[in-house]
Structure 1
Amino acid sequence: MATEQNGFVRVAGTDEVVDGKPKAVKVEGRSIALFRHNGSIHATDNQCPHMGYPLTRGRVRNGVLTCDWHGWSYDLGGGGCFTGGCDDLETFPVEERNGDVYVSVGDGGSKRSDAHFLLLKEGLYSTDQWTISKAVAIMLARGVSEGDTLNLIIRHGGRHIATERGANDGGGEVADFVNGIKVARQYETDDRIIPLTFAAHGLSGRAGDRPSIQRLPDPVTWEKLEGWIRVFSKDKKWEGIEKCLITARRMGGHDQEILPLLFECAMAPHFLGNSNNLLNIGYIAEVLEEFGWDEAEELVCNLSAKILGQERGLPDEIRQSAIDQFIADTATLDALADGQADGSTVAFDEDAFAEGLVSGEIGPTFGAVTQALTDGVSIDRIVTTMVVLAADRMARTPVNMNPGWGGLVREMMMASAVRKAQRFAGSRVAAQALYHVAWQFYGDRWLNITHRPLSESRGSLQPGSADESEAIESVLSSIEKIQIREIGRQTRDYLRSGYSGDALLRGLGLVILKDDNGRNILSTLRTIFDEWTLCADHPSRNQLLVGLARWATDSRRATGSQSAAATALRFAKGQTAVDLYES
């Protein structure tokens, strides 16, 4: 039985550790490798820092310990790694006393947080999913501050996007980052690791050198900068926009005015059809809200400029006609938005609104929005209807042909993003954003989805015969087995039984995230987490989960797959190959 003296624990007899025959021992549940080399005994973590293979199956030569799996090598005495892309090996003090071997693991062998930050930086630059997953998992397991971890990622991401990415690919990476963080906060402890890894991987990539952007010399005013940003956006000159944004920051006193301006420019009629604008500016706003200007300035100024000043091809005849109508309606939209009353409870014929939105004709599509605003319906209520309508279409789209998932999830995410536009930029910008969402519905007119009234509840409650946990497992099992024709009905039956939608949503999220294709569904998953609460009183709210379950099933690539993040979590706890070979 192990005995402890002055922080050292007896782990073996001296004669049990023989040159050329490493020995594995357990200290406080952790596997420690003992090696005798040149007459001395050395103790190291038995997990290879690369992928967790037991180092007792490796070899020592000239003081260098080499793992037998991938050949990664370490200084036996100090643990330094000789192979790129790897963390150093943890080593522990050893004492030989009266024929016994004692080892001190201190606080469990936890390394300094700066060593873990270096590993994360290496993963971010290399974009290696395993290195990123391993670094994030270890940092969480060892109590490294999540805030410090995310700050490192956002600083790297700012330079990476500024030097390597354009408007849309940069926006997509920020989307992964923001949505990974938001989804992670829906879970506790271990279940957070996969979405946080998606977040980190979202902003990974090369980050080149870049001279700092200098502000414009005086005299310059905010009013001039604001006007120039609008002009440069229309003229597709993103570098001028970035210069103006940096100047505004250096002038000071205008931070609160920048975000509303970005939203306003992004929602201009000439951007109609560029659906990423509303989403990406919304994510930028959340980055700024989460991290502040000091951490996020480079990312916000550079990516916003690229979004607002991006190249735009000449619109076709249909889109140009819609842009012209949008411009003609702008004054009306502004006036109606200014007349929005807080907590408006006016009558709203949302079925007529939805029917106009999916009419397949641009006049009735835009007209549905202006009519609802004219009737005094709140923007928030209009958004809820748009979100539920998109979810209902996801829940019913035929899967025997192209189901149009890309367009349908974009309808939902854009509608939800209008809430951000209203929160950060006000009702006028949000009203214009509604036209951009309406155009997305119009663009999906080719989908063969019949309209049905949203005000009708999708079935009455029917108490289920199975235990709730068994019912959830049945739904999740159908997703994993890719039973696309059954999953919609099963999800509806579960919800009609009165079981917890919250529990099912969390379960759906975990199944989605652990699949190889989970990253592609991350943004929609985050949107549904938000809207499941915001649409709580809507009779068709359940369609949010039915639509999500159907899309997750139809998009699934690998049955029962395990992501790098899930493996990394086991690695961080010492539960990978060491247990496999020593259990």
Structure 2
Amino acid sequence: MLLCFMGSIDRFRETVPLAELEREGRVQTSVDGRALALFHHEGEIRVVDNRCPHMGFPLSEGSVEDGVLTCHWHHARFELSCGDTFDPWADDVQTFPVEIRDGSVYVDPHPEPDEPPAEHWMRRLEDGLEQNLRLVVAKSAIGLADAGVSSDAVVERGVRFGSRYRESGWGPGLTILAAMRNVLPDLADDDRKRALYQGLVHVAGDCADAPPRFDQEPFDTEDVSFERLKAWFRENIKVRDADGAERVLRTAIANGADDAHLAEMLVAAATDHRYLNTGHTLDFVNKACEVLDHVGWDHGDAVLPSLIEGMATATRAEERSSWRQPVDLAAMVSETFADLDSLVESGAGTEWSPPASFTETLLSDDPEIVVAALEDAIREGASVEALAREVAFAAGTRVAQFATVNEFSDWNTVHHTFTYANAVHQLARRTGARELYRGVFDAAINVYLDRFLNTPPAPLPRPASSTETDLSVHLDELLDSFDVEGEVDEAGRRAAHYLDCGGDVSLLRERLAESLLREDAGFHTYQALEAGFTQAELRDSPEEVRTLLVAVARYLSAHFPTRREREQTFTIAARLHRGEKIHEEGQ
């Protein structure tokens, strides 16, 4: 029954006799479903949530001395009167107002929060990122989602943090966060929280112990054309002058260059040299552009300059022996690039369709045949987007047919080509910049160089009977195969047969992503899933979709299972958020 007190609804509830609390020093109780710990200390009554905000251990079993409450599980310490923690990894503990009436202790179990949940969890996310606190990041990702904060607002905070607090700029963590944002529509609700958590954890890890990045200023002029700025930018990247390149890029942003022009400037410089940093450089450019599509290009001045250090310092494939011996591939494509304008002009006004055997041609073991086929396609009107699409599929086929007799590290080789080709394709859909034809050739040359990893090619799974009715068996056995090391071919077969029997592509994608998010996956594994999903989404051919998702399943299987430490942390955070106990025997 609610009591009236001083003319208003009484929010306070009777808990324990004051004499009992004074005698015992502490009492634990539950009021309106809230577990409370009451302390009599230094003549004062203090009440806190009995669950330690770190990992839920009962604070009533802790100790109090000199106004400090210490949890005995992980030794988190709290200022008893206000609940603030000495230890940022622990979070503050909730305190509750107290009144003494007629010899009893009354507590308000539902006080007004000091700050709205969205503000609290965004602040805690900053703490987690700054101090690389995995559990804090997990709690924040869950809390922000449940507080109704949009995924893009969370991603924005992570991207701005990662762009600022890593001197070397854009790296794997930001790429993972951008990739996970891209696949959010494929995920179940809880896995969307996991995806953001995984991305944010990797951002925090990349920035841990790294110095921040300091900005260069734009030129104080609006009189320089975009074409001149673009030329200056390319020249500065060519001579590895990151500071000069940043000033030029910031000037283009300050002068109002739109997203297509900024992407054009970046991809021109990133394709002036061959296959920078085994493809990562252009993939980073693509991911930065994609994440700005989500969080807004008004953040471009905070995000895009983080790409420049990596562009200026990247290794260049024409400096590697594999591009020079026994065939001088760099010289071969340079001859094509010198004639690129005339090739494009020859195809102006015509529309190109890939021949039926085009994928097989791109998979040829003769680089001259590959280069000639690409040149012919441009003469016949192939746009950079259309040509990049075909090369991306050929690169995905290499992954789908990777022979497991190769060294394990060679998964990275075919993977790099595929994610690079995907980046070229996505950027071509954004800008259509002529310079991206060079990226198409770079990707195709790497498809050629990867030929030995398909020697012999692992056969694509044979088609399954479409009369099977229990499709869930294939999905269940697919997930089971990820629990066993080395089940690469079985994983590919289960994914293929699920589709052969009429399975829902979207459900297969959801289950593949679910499998990824429970693992301690590495950088490349996130990339592989997102690139495969992106390419499959753009295909009308069921056969191409099948090949690409087989590639994803096989790649994931090759890298699973792991210890799943990050999933354990997320599970703890989720159970704490739901108010569950995690410390009791049998849990």
Q: Structure 2-normalised TM-score?
A: 0.85
**Residue 278 of structure 2 contacts residue 317 of structure 2 at CA under 8 Å; is this kept in 1?**
no
CA distance in 2 between counterparts of 1:582 and 1:401 reads 44
Comparing 335-344 and 379-388, the one that deviates more = 335-344
Query: Compared with structure 1, are the counterparts of its residues 337 and 51 closer, same or farther at alpha carbon in structure 2 (3 Å cutoff)?
Result: farther
- Give the Å deviation of 1:97: 4.9
Which residue does the alignment assign to 1:416? 422
- Give the Å deviation of 1:521: 1.3
Q: Deviations over 1:31-87 (max 9, x none)?
A: 443444456543322332222323232222333221110111112221111224332
Query: Compared with structure 1, are the counterparts of its residues 22 and 8 closer, same or farther at alpha carbon in structure 2 (3 Å cutoff)?
Result: same
CA distance in 2 between counterparts of 1:33 and 1:64 reads 14
- Give the Å deviation of 1:241: 0.7
- Give the Å deviation of 1:554: 1.9
Query: Compared with structure 1, are the counterparts of its residues 551 and 211 closer, same or farther at alpha carbon in structure 2 (3 Å cutoff)?
Result: closer
* SS of match in other structure, 1:236: coil
2:209 maps to 1:203: no
Query: Compared with structure 1, are the counterparts of its residues 147 and 293 closer, same or farther at alpha carbon in structure 2 (3 Å cutoff)?
Result: same
Comparing 104-113 and 509-518, the one that deviates more = 104-113
Within 5 A, what are the aligned runs for 1:551-562? 551-558=555-562, 562=567
CA distance in 1 between counterparts of 2:563 and 2:218 reads 53
Which residue does the alignment assign to 1:275? 279
2:24 maps to 1:19: yes
Within 5 A, what are the aligned runs for 1:2-13? 6=9, 8=11, 10=13, 12-13=15-16
* SS of match in other structure, 1:558: coil
2:378 maps to 1:370: no
Which residue does the alignment assign to 2:477? 474
Query: Compared with structure 1, are the counterparts of its residues 508 and 27 closer, same or farther at alpha carbon in structure 2 (3 Å cutoff)?
Result: farther
**Residue 421 of structure 1 contacts residue 429 of structure 1 at CA under 8 Å; is this kept in 2?**
no
Within 5 A, what are the aligned runs for 1:78-117? 78-97=82-101, 99=104, 101-106=106-111, 113-117=118-122
- Aligned length in residues: 570
Within 5 A, what are the aligned runs for 1:215-364? 215-217=218-220, 221-222=224-225, 223-252=227-256, 257-271=261-275, 274-304=278-308, 306-308=310-312, 310=314, 312=316, 315-316=319-320, 319-320=323-324, 321-337=328-344, 344=351, 346=353, 348-351=354-357, 353-364=358-369
Which residue does the alignment assign to 2:168? 165
- Give the Å deviation of 1:265: 1.7
Which residue does the alignment assign to 1:441? 447
Which residue does the alignment assign to 1:58? 62
* SS of match in other structure, 2:52: coil
CA distance in 2 between counterparts of 1:518 and 1:566 reads 19
* SS of match in other structure, 1:23: strand
Query: Compared with structure 1, are the counterparts of its residues 381 and 76 closer, same or farther at alpha carbon in structure 2 (3 Å cutoff)?
Result: same
Match of 1:478, as an amino acid?
S
- Give the Å deviation of 1:300: 0.8
CA distance in 2 between counterparts of 1:436 and 1:366 reads 10
Match of 1:304, as an amino acid?
I
- Give the Å deviation of 1:23: 1.1
* SS of match in other structure, 2:69: strand
When the two chains are superposed, the root-mean-square deviation of aligned CA atoms in Å is 3.5
CA distance in 1 between counterparts of 2:492 and 2:111 reads 53
CA distance in 2 between counterparts of 1:165 and 1:136 reads 26
**Residue 134 of structure 1 contacts residue 572 of structure 1 at CA under 8 Å; is this kept in 2?**
yes
- Give the Å deviation of 1:421: 1.9
- Give the Å deviation of 1:318: 5.3
Query: Compared with structure 1, are the counterparts of its residues 194 and 339 closer, same or farther at alpha carbon in structure 2 (3 Å cutoff)?
Result: farther
* SS of match in other structure, 1:276: helix
Which residue does the alignment assign to 2:467? 463
**Residue 78 of structure 2 contacts residue 93 of structure 2 at CA under 8 Å; is this kept in 1?**
yes
Match of 1:416, as an amino acid?
N
**Residue 228 of structure 1 contacts residue 244 of structure 1 at CA under 8 Å; is this kept in 2?**
yes
CA distance in 2 between counterparts of 1:517 and 1:212 reads 32
**Residue 418 of structure 1 contacts residue 430 of structure 1 at CA under 8 Å; is this kept in 2?**
yes
Q: Deviations over 1:313-356 (max 9, x none)?
A: 8724652422222222125444555677899573x3343x2233
2:51 maps to 1:47: yes
- Give the Å deviation of 1:259: 2.0
CA distance in 1 between counterparts of 2:147 and 2:416 reads 38
**Residue 414 of structure 1 contacts residue 437 of structure 1 at CA under 8 Å; is this kept in 2?**
yes
Identity %: 25
Which residue does the alignment assign to 2:500? 496
Of 73, 76, 84, 1:72 maps to: 76
CA distance in 2 between counterparts of 1:14 and 1:90 reads 22
CA distance in 1 between counterparts of 2:277 and 2:160 reads 31
Match of 2:236, as an amino acid?
F
Match of 1:476, as an amino acid?
L
Query: Compared with structure 1, are the counterparts of its residues 230 and 87 closer, same or farther at alpha carbon in structure 2 (3 Å cutoff)?
Result: same
Of 510, 532, 535, 2:514 maps to: 510
Within 5 A, what are the aligned runs for 1:177-196? 177-196=177-196
* SS of match in other structure, 2:78: strand
**Residue 394 of structure 2 contacts residue 447 of structure 2 at CA under 8 Å; is this kept in 1?**
no
Query: Compared with structure 1, are the counterparts of its residues 401 and 209 closer, same or farther at alpha carbon in structure 2 (3 Å cutoff)?
Result: closer
Query: Compared with structure 1, are the counterparts of its residues 341 and 103 closer, same or farther at alpha carbon in structure 2 (3 Å cutoff)?
Result: farther
- Give the Å deviation of 1:377: 4.8
- Give the Å deviation of 1:96: 4.9
- Give the Å deviation of 1:380: 4.4
- Give the Å deviation of 1:216: 3.1
Comparing 150-159 and 288-297, the one that deviates more = 288-297
Q: Name stretches of at least 5 consecutive residues in structure 2 with no aligned partner.
A: none
Q: Structure 1-normalised TM-score?
A: 0.86
**Residue 492 of structure 1 contacts residue 546 of structure 1 at CA under 8 Å; is this kept in 2?**
yes
- Give the Å deviation of 1:129: 2.2
Match of 1:421, as an amino acid?
L
Which residue does the alignment assign to 1:428? 434
Query: Compared with structure 1, are the counterparts of its residues 172 and 450 closer, same or farther at alpha carbon in structure 2 (3 Å cutoff)?
Result: same
- Give the Å deviation of 1:240: 1.3
- Give the Å deviation of 1:438: 0.7
CA distance in 1 between counterparts of 2:346 and 2:52 reads 65
Within 5 A, what are the aligned runs for 1:563-582? 563-577=568-582, 580=584
Of 527, 537, 544, 2:541 maps to: 537
Match of 2:331, as an amino acid?
D
**Residue 344 of structure 2 contacts residue 379 of structure 2 at CA under 8 Å; is this kept in 1?**
no
Comparing 294-303 and 373-382, the one that deviates more = 373-382
Q: Deviations over 1:114-139 (max 9, x none)?
A: 44333222222222322322222222
